[in-house]
Structure 1
């Protein structure tokens, strides 16, 4: 039944096929290849040799330049020593089918090892299989197009130009082997395959384990055999910058030859009896990213809330000022402040009472900004100058002069005006134009005003001063 199924799946492009079944055999078995004529093989064809396991011990398919001198081919070291090739990943993973393809063109060693596609050497090549115990299997040989994959691509892989292009985390010539990203792990489990994608890793890599364990660590482009390579006993997984760059260069060289996308991997295989915990992730890139995330995220949250609070506070202040301005504007028409202290330009004030303006009077004592000639200002009977809007807002809350605390309530201003039709600035202007007819009596300084006098005495003092300022 298996033979029939494999025959049905054979590509239509081959010209010759041969198969042989081995029933409960032991040791090295020879497959006769005389009926396959390699000299007729074109550059766009390949010979594919497949072993289909049925029952018993899983055998290993081997192809050699000549028949091996020993009858024990179970180890990868022996296969290499005898100058033979095999589908070692499929054998180690105990897959049902093992396949090797032979082509006419020369390919690099990296190409051959990664995809089980080797250069055809001789018509006298040896094809066989070895099993230490009884095994039943079949061997098929057929010629197919160079652009057909010898195996069906697994785990989402795609066939391009006769090769399987695997997605991240899958390995083997048919993408049938799956691994786990070691950057996402908190512990390592026995007989599990882990990988590190170098294009997303930092310049170095290190993991500290809770116990020493036996493991394999290798560049996949250089040694694509999952259960082969040097075995280490250590509690540190460490990759230097040079090792990472070397593996990247190996992968890029392979990718240029095969013309399909390849990811650069360091693979790890654990052979411990129990799970081992990862105590420290000391990858410089990971650590930096985690530290940055630990600092950046809380900082962003704090800054966000601070910004929200500032916006709310600013909005409330603006709203409050707008409400005050609105109230002032609503009452401005009948406001006694505008009646006795109308708004004029600062340039006019300078022309009218220039001799009474000193250096301090060029600044508004409320907002502390310097006056501009076109600024709208108000002048109090105590001859202090303020921005019109600043003084209106000030008097809306408190009815005294900001500088000398002279009373500026309606009753005081009304009592000062002997002609209600005249404003303070009119009276000051008329008296200033009289060529020194108005004589200003000096008053006590602010320090004396802030002395130990009660409020009634203070208001009386300012009242007396106001009478002097407006008196003929």
Structure 2
């Protein structure tokens, strides 16, 4: 029992309430809340003011910085002129409950308009109600937690951190205003509210109607008051890229402030006296574009993959062709070298020369390794001997004899063999067998001593750089 009493006292301390009944009153009435309106409202509290009526002419709940001087506060424009606040949507929709909350926390203008939660400007503000005719209504004030909603959330909405999170197609600070999705319609009916969710369209929107009708078109994030806005008479419902972009940006800014998901909406309030048909619906074009995109994107991916495969295949084929060409060139060089300078054993090369090998010729001048009798060697027409593999590697860089610089290109080698059936080694061998073993080595300094024209022509043709060998 003591615990229950303590809880009740604690609740009474945190939630202070005042009610005042008005009977058959007209004009502007004051609602005194100074006795429950503390000088310092906690950051975790808000003061919620409520007006409740049952039937008859609808009174309007107002909160102003100063008391208005006349009794014409009957619409949004005059309320704005006097810098007053009111629950415009509830008043214009003739709901039985109007509610406004006051808080110490600073909120944006968009937040205040959307959720009827306003910042306290001063402690002496005017709170009251205005009615054109004699009315009976109840006004209440309650100091409650900032995280309690001023009204019960309707149409499936949920209260989060003191504001109602509404489902798609419901509007107002308590989600009490229901609208119709214009995307699903083939005609528009009088006095109906339609909405367009920007999440369901692209960058444009268009509807062409059968007749011109009066309507109000606006984006909800900027003007959350359903009945307010400029009245248009048109047969075209159209949104361009800039309008859609601005609406999305305003909605995102509001969502970032309240930390609750908000959808971007355009609203259309119809004021015609008859139904109008929708003649052209650009959703059909959007559907066709969506189908085209669904076809185009997979085809683009397939073509890209095919192109990539073709490029890889072409690259591999080209690389293989280059490698084959290099291999063919290498094989051709090897074949030419083997044709004119066949591979011999070192012992065979010694027999062909048939003279004592000098110390310089007892090792390979390229790798500087001493020959053995079983080494594979090649002997140039200048009778210089090298390892077969060493000479092949050497001639890939330069086609001259490493010792005497004698040319070893194909043209020079072929000119040294007058008979196609004989290689250079066979010529040397045959000449040696006939007993013609004398060789004359002529240096560049002694060329002038040779008067024979044939000898001079032969030396000029071979183009020796250091010394030339003439085989007679």
Q: By the TM > 0.5 criterion, same fold? A: yes
Query: Does the alignment pair 1:288 with 2:272?
Result: no
User: Retained in 2: the 8 A contact 1:227–1:269?
Assistant: yes
Q: Residue 359 of structure 2 aligns with which residue?
A: none
User: Retained in 2: the 8 A contact 1:28–1:72?
Assistant: no
Measured in 2, the distance between the counterparts of 1:296 and 1:37 equals 61
1:231 CA displacement: 1.1
List aligned pairs for 1:282-321, cutoff 5 A. 282-283=282-283, 286-290=284-288
Query: Does the alignment pair 1:146 with 2:152?
Result: no
SS at match of 1:38: coil
Q: CA RMSD in A?
A: 2.0
In structure 2, the CA distance between the partners of 1:12 and 1:212, relative to structure 1 (3 Å rule), is: farther
In structure 2, the CA distance between the partners of 1:247 and 1:44, relative to structure 1 (3 Å rule), is: same
- Runs (4+) of structure 1 exceeding 6 A deviation are 294-297
SS at match of 2:183: helix
Q: Residue 197 of structure 1 aligns with which residue?
A: 197
Measured in 2, the distance between the counterparts of 1:42 and 1:296 equals 56
Query: Does the alignment pair 1:275 with 2:261?
Result: no
1:295 CA displacement: 12
Query: Does the alignment pair 1:80 with 2:80?
Result: yes
1:294 CA displacement: 11
Number of paired residues? 286
SS at match of 2:139: strand
Greater CA deviation, 288-297 or 83-92? 288-297
Q: Residue 398 of structure 2 aligns with which residue?
A: none
In structure 2, the CA distance between the partners of 1:240 and 1:167, relative to structure 1 (3 Å rule), is: same
Q: Residue 215 of structure 1 aligns with which residue?
A: 215
Q: Residue 432 of structure 2 aligns with which residue?
A: none
SS at match of 2:137: strand
The Cα offsets for residues 161-202 of structure 1, whole Å up to 9 and x where unpaired, read as 001000101110011111111011001111111001001211
User: Retained in 1: the 8 A contact 2:16–2:144?
Assistant: no
SS at match of 2:43: coil
Measured in 1, the distance between the counterparts of 2:290 and 2:118 equals 49
In structure 2, the CA distance between the partners of 1:25 and 1:279, relative to structure 1 (3 Å rule), is: same
The Cα offsets for residues 125-175 of structure 1, whole Å up to 9 and x where unpaired, read as 111111112211010001000000011111111111001000101110011
Measured in 2, the distance between the counterparts of 1:295 and 1:107 equals 43
The Cα offsets for residues 343-362 of structure 1, whole Å up to 9 and x where unpaired, read as xxxxxxxxxxxxxxxxxxxx
1:296 CA displacement: 9.2
User: Retained in 1: the 8 A contact 2:216–2:268?
Assistant: yes
Gaps of 5+ in 2: 1-7, 296-472
In structure 2, the CA distance between the partners of 1:293 and 1:251, relative to structure 1 (3 Å rule), is: same
Gaps of 5+ in 1: 1-7, 298-472
In structure 2, the CA distance between the partners of 1:124 and 1:236, relative to structure 1 (3 Å rule), is: same
1:221 CA displacement: 0.8
Q: Which structure would you say has the larger Rg?
A: 2
In structure 2, the CA distance between the partners of 1:55 and 1:288, relative to structure 1 (3 Å rule), is: closer
In structure 2, the CA distance between the partners of 1:279 and 1:43, relative to structure 1 (3 Å rule), is: same
Query: TM-score when scaled to structure 2?
Result: 0.58
1:53 CA displacement: 0.7
The Cα offsets for residues 80-116 of structure 1, whole Å up to 9 and x where unpaired, read as 0000010000111111100000000110000000000
1:54 CA displacement: 2.5
List aligned pairs for 1:140-179, cutoff 5 A. 140-179=140-179
In structure 2, the CA distance between the partners of 1:183 and 1:236, relative to structure 1 (3 Å rule), is: same
1:287 CA displacement: 1.2
SS at match of 1:247: helix
